[in-house]
Chain A
Amino acid sequence: MPVIDLANPTRFLAIVNRALPWLIAVTVILFAVGLFYAINAPDDYQQGATVKIMFLHVPAAWLGMLGWGLMSVAALGTLVWRHPLADVAGKAAAPIGAAFTFICLVTGSLWGRPTWGTYWVWDARLTSMLVLLLLYFGVLALYWTAEEPGRGARAAAILSLVGAVNLPIIKFSVDWWNTLHQPASVFRMGGSRIDPALLTPLLIMALAFTLLFATLHFAAMRNEILRRRVRSMRLMQAQELHA
């Protein structure tokens, strides 16, 4: 099947309806395996059992950033090609990305208190991640408050592209500035610095959370397509009443 067929909302709905049960099943299995490994993972020699928070915090951070990256690509589709599915994808990703960014900030704070002695510091990594959450709130406000959906979509797309500047700042903040947050330890030149006994559950949990994101995103896109159909049918009904 040509990839362009996916851009047809009706065809997209048919594919999502077929794919969602499989996605849900694989996600549940991966979470079961990941949590088993996470529960049985050894304590860190410095952080003790609090290292188990890493299995939530790190995937949530990745997905908070992935969500915004996805919205930025969708914004190009909205502004350049004016494709309706691009806006559907961007709008559906916003609340999910915001939720994962929120999880990242809260779990990071709960991890920081026992390891750093504080819930929060205004260092570059934490602050740029908080800025990402505020940007998500901005996009959601544009979508939810626009009287005309098309204008809201264009404004949200512009903010998505502008906000993409924050992604490299988050990623490299630990290298560019002196931060309390540790530098990259999973994906770095020279390989991971994490012991395989902790890296394995982390990667399985990251894969499980990524599939959860994909599942929620496809389901939210399906809802958004249905919502637009409802809107279109109500407009048709109103036009007929006034004709």
Chain B
Amino acid sequence: MMSLGPHADFIVAAYAVTVFVVAALVAWVVLDYSAQRRVLGDLEDRGVTRRSQRKAG
């Protein structure tokens, strides 16, 4: 078992805060991606297209 000495609380707290913030960043990116994909899909299902798609079509 690894010993972190008398200041183990500070070391564990530093790693816990970092894991929490990184996890929050990852969750933000993943949830935002699925939200944007869902809204784009809804708009496309309703026949809404971008101007560039109309030009291409």
Q: List chain A positions with a Cβ less than 8 A from chain B.
A: 39, 43, 48-50, 52-53, 56-57, 60, 95-96, 99, 102-103, 106-107, 110-111, 113-114, 212, 216, 219-220, 222-223, 226-227, 229-230, 232-234, 236-237
Within 8 A of A (CB), among B1-57: 2-8, 10-11, 13-15, 17-18, 21-22, 24-26, 28-30, 32-33, 36-37, 39-40, 43, 46, 48-51
Whether A226 lies near B40 (C-beta < 8 A) is yes
Whether B18 lies near A237 (C-beta < 8 A) is no
Whether A49 lies near B40 (C-beta < 8 A) is no
Whether B26 lies near A233 (C-beta < 8 A) is no
Whether A232 lies near B51 (C-beta < 8 A) is yes
- A99: B residues at CB distance < 8 A: 21-22, 24-25
Q: Nearest-CB distance from B36 to chain A (Å)? A: 4
Q: Nearest-CB distance from B51 to chain A (Å)? A: 7
Whether A95 lies near B7 (C-beta < 8 A) is no
- B28: A residues at CB distance < 8 A: 95
Report Cα–Cα, A110/B8, bound state, in Å.
11
Chain A: which residue is nearest B46 at the CB level? A237
12 A–B contacts, CB within 8 A, in A order: A43-B5, A99-B24, A103-B22, A216-B25, A216-B29, A219-B33, A220-B29, A223-B32, A226-B36, A227-B36, A232-B50, A237-B46
